[in-house]
Amino acid sequence: MDKEKKILYSGMQATNTLTLGNYLGALKNWVSMHEEYECFYGVMDLHSLTVRQEPAEFRKNARSLYALYVAAGLDPEKNCVYYQSHVPAHTQLAWILNCFTYMGELSRMTQYKDKAAKHADNVNAGLFTYPVLMASDILLYQADVVPVGVDQKQHLEITRDIAERFNSIYGDVFTVPEAYIGKAGAKVMSLQDPTKKMSKSDENPNATVFLLDDKDTIIRKFKRAVTDSDAEIRYDAENKPGVSNLMSIYSAVSKKSYEEIEKEFAGSGYGDFKIAVGERVAEELLPIQNKYQELMKEKSFIESCMKNNAEKAFYVSNKTLRKVYKKVGLTELPRS
């Protein structure tokens, strides 16, 4: 590890494929972060188990996510890109941190309330203690910064609370992480309801663009995107959320400002603009899709990356875990 650099930690769940929102909002910006930070990115497969998974499909999705990370530009030699489940310290530390987390804190988590309402037939303990496993993910690597969206701010706050509580008892064991403040990723909203974030699990197939959608599918979804009735291409998030969402996406893939976009499409109708956005998004995603297809065929390369990065994650995480075990008084296994 480069001790000169601060440590950054993030990851995504291994369910379904990534969306355009995942890419423009996070993954695209992760690609160059290794220049400034020592980066750890997890395929968060243990977190995915709070919802029932079909095993074969789940394994396929996890491998697909790993390949998409790499295809999008995360170099596994410059970043530690690994599976959460390959590093036992995540769950080992999570149990200890459970004992330093209060029921009241967990019951206030809005994401727990939302998911419990959505999956009323499976409100399991893992759903309730999910933030503790997330705290374990972050604290194991002594992360200085964590990129978080609005929906994850509560989880970072409870991670900080747990770290500070543990440190107040046992000394400076954990780095107390800060939210990553840097270049903001595009906030991509649903194409069918621009008041909601684009989601993997949206029941409307036209609401979400996936990274592996082909060009025709992408353009079709953008053609059906919800806009408004005044037909003027102008950025106004409050009064014109649909058009503003399309402009935000177009800006992210074309690197043009809203003012430049307004000038480019002055006098054009929404139909032409929607097609232009769809075509530019398809153009942006094509190299990623091509690289992804190559990687999915190169089984040995992906598995080599998994193994090497898991070893690094194991080494770094176990340094923290051993320290925690010693602090709380657990007995170390004698070495032969």
> Hey, which residues are catalytic here?
115, 197, 200
Distance of CA 194 to the CA centre of its chain: 20
* CA quadruple 130, 136, 137, 142: dihedral, nearest 10: 150
First-to-last alpha carbon distance for the chain, in angstroms, is 28
Residue 4: burial class (beta carbons within 10 Å; 0-12, 13-18, 19+): exposed
User: Radius of gyration over alpha carbons of the chain, in Å?
Assistant: 21
DSSP type of residue 49:
G
Rounded to whole angstroms, how far apart are CA atoms 130 and 47? 7
Rounded to whole angstroms, how far apart are CA atoms 106 and 89? 22
Q: At what angle do helices 153-170 and 125-140 cross, to 10 degrees?
A: 70
